[in-house]
Amino acid sequence: MSLLICFSGQIGSGKSSVSCAVAQALGWRRTGFGDYLRAEIERAGGDPSSRQALQDLGQQRVEADAEGFCRDVLNAGGFILGEDFIIDGVRHFDIFRILERLAAPTSARLLFLGADEAARLVRIEARPDSADFERADGHPVESELRDELPARADAVVDANLPFQEVVSKCLTDIEAWR
């Protein structure tokens, strides 16, 4: 059975770093909503490092045509129906449901990385947009990440743990889903 692993978590939880390490360990292709949005913003002549631009464009795409947005991200990442794949940056449960439907018969799983605010702030401090954290964390696109997505996830991994332990836990969960 093939799997589509959808990583979710708040800003600074480690979604991109962990999903990249997991994809490398498994030899799977991977993409992210942020990767896609940064490329779109750059193509339009905008600043791809602006978190506000990423959030605003992502929310616009979700509101305008969520299914088309999901298709575009999967296509840009090289998703092939029936092959294992990893995508990070799922911020809405409805988006997960769309990905699940688009990937069928591949089995989709939602993996939530949960980190407390202190750990997230430490990770954010190293980023060029760290001063924008408070505004970004309160953006409407982030609202389901506090309660709904962790409650509905197939697995919640404690992202406060050391990086290699987080990756190992994710790999264990993925293996159990096979």
pLDDT of residue 163: 95
pLDDT in tens, 29-69: 999 999 999 999 999 999 998 888 988 999 999 999 999 99
29-32/107-114 β-pairing:
unpaired
CB under 8 A, 24+ apart: contacts of 142-151? 142/10, 142/11, 142/55, 142/91, 144/91, 144/92, 144/93, 145/8, 145/9, 145/10, 145/91, 146/10, 148/93, 149/8, 149/90, 149/91, 149/92, 149/93, 149/96, 149/110, 149/112, 150/112, 150/114
Look at the chain and report how many structural domains it folds into.
1
Record the pTM. 0.92
pLDDT of residue 119: 86
Give the number of other Cβ atoms within 10 Å of residue 143's Cβ: 13
pLDDT of residue 5: 98
Segments forming the whole domain that contains residue 52: 3-177
pLDDT in tens, 116-174: 988 887 887 877 776 767 776 777 777 788 889 999 999 999 999 999 999 999 999 99
pLDDT over 70 (residue 6): yes
pLDDT of residue 62: 94
CATH of residue 123: 3.40.50.300
